[in-house]
Homo-oligomer: A and B are copies of this chain.
Amino acid sequence: MQNIKKRIVIAGGGYGGLKALGELAHRNDVEIILIDRHPYHYLQTDVYDFIANKTNITDVAVSLVTLTGYYCGKVEFVQAKIENFDFTANTVLLDDGNKIEYDYLVIALGSRTFFPHQIEGLYEHTHGIKSLKWAFLFKQRFEQAMHKKVEEEGSCAIDPDFNIIIGGAGLSGVEIAAAMSEYSQSFFKHSGYACGGVNVYLVEGAPSIMNGLDPYLIKTTEKKLKALGVKIITGTRIQKVNENSVELSDGKTIKMNFMVWTGGIKASPVLECVEAPKNARNHLLVDKYFRVNGYENVFAVGDCAEIKDSNDKILPPTAQLAEISGTLAGKNISAMIDHKIPKHTTDEIDFKGVLVAVGGTDAVAYLMKKFRFSGILAFLVKKLVCVGYKEPLIAKCRIGMKKCAAK
């Protein structure tokens, strides 16, 4: 029996990789190796609450050790950095020199923050939030800013401005801006501080925040951000970042205490040296079955792949797309193991909608291409989606934890 088991290697334990894992781990004729350089699945979509001190670190990081422990030795977790892939020899090369062979490979390596080098000083003076380590650093720096405000309560009239700048007004940027502004404003006001909270600037080069999304979403979110005191600057690029200021394309300079950059992503650096069909930003080119062009048994899902919809339009990278593509790729591999022809294609990609958290118990929703609403109901739907994603994983972790301990 052992010998005929198919080995599936999943490279990356993020939204995409874990969905693929979920599709395959119930089979008895496979062994799965999940590789990630971190021992956790980082829930980047929930990070705004973590930054605003509303949740703890384990609320944004699910243990891959216990999650794979749940699957009773059928799934092995390898914490390692991947050096390269050899699609011809069907092997994954780890940076410790080890090689792992596979029958099927799912590349789900996600993306990293991209700091365009045209923007001088951007990399040196800003934070990203695409890794737990960075989000944690940022959270602590934000808290230090709050502490500084408290220490300077006596002299706030002299220096009333404490500016946090968020570069990039995509979903992440918007949600973080809202959470920080709401948190800092509300808790200073609520506690009767003279100095007020910090200023949050949201700077975006495109003509609007969340550019390209539904106009209702954009308009409503913008209104709510403004009500929270977020200063929105659109149609304006960041040209230079200095240690304590940011220079904009309209000639203005804003004082900056610290800055987070959510303005761009690039594919995982692992893909830089991988020999495979890629676009200019190293995203893997896939066919409609999520297979890397030219390779029958190599799939790429989520942020690290260039995924096109049925109209040949490149889909923007989101956690939702990672989940959908991970699921469909997993189903296709399952079919292939059964000697069937894979049938799940990019045509099936159907977004449930967009939910934007805008501080406190408020959110803006656009669901199933027809329902548009905001307020506490949207917030509850958002929470439901988060909990619905996270809780089943954590339930598995808790069981996996006991299995680990029993070993």
Contact = CB atoms under 8 A, between A and B. Distances in A.
Contacts of A216: none
A396 B192 CA distance: 8
Interface string A141-162: 0011011001111111000000
B193 A63 contact: yes
A61 interface: yes
Interface residues of A, number: 51
A187 to B, nearest CB: 5
A188 interface: yes
A231 B395 CA distance: 29
Contacts of A146: 56-58
Contacts of A39: 150-155
B58 A150 contact: yes
A149 to B, nearest CB: 9
A66 B154 CA distance: 9
A190 B58 contact: yes
Contacts of A155: 39, 79
A192 B38 contact: no
Interface string A6-49: 00000000000000000000000000000000111000000000
A153 B65 contact: yes
A268 interface: no
Contacts of A144: 140
A87 B369 CA distance: 77
Interface stretch (A205-213, A244-252, A310-318, A397-405): A397-405
A94 interface: no
B192 A397 contact: yes
A69 interface: yes
Contact of A66 (B62, B136, B193): B193
Contacts of A66: 192-194
A240 B188 CA distance: 42
Contacts of A401: 189, 192-194
Nearest to A390: B191
A57 B155 CA distance: 18
Contacts of A394: 190-192
A59 interface: yes
A226 interface: no
Interface in A347-398: 394-398
Nearest to A132: B150
B192 A153 contact: no
A133 interface: yes
Given A39-B151, A79-B154, A58 B398 contact: no
A13 to B, nearest CB: 11
A293 interface: no
Interface string A179-206: 0000000011111111000000000000
Given A57-B143, A58-B146, 9 more contacts: A38-B151, A63-B194, A65-B153, A65-B194, A79-B155, A132-B147, A140-B140, A140-B144, A192-B394
Interface of A: 38-40, 53, 56-59, 61-67, 69, 77, 79, 132-133, 136, 140, 143-144, 146-147, 150-156, 187-194, 394-401, 404-405
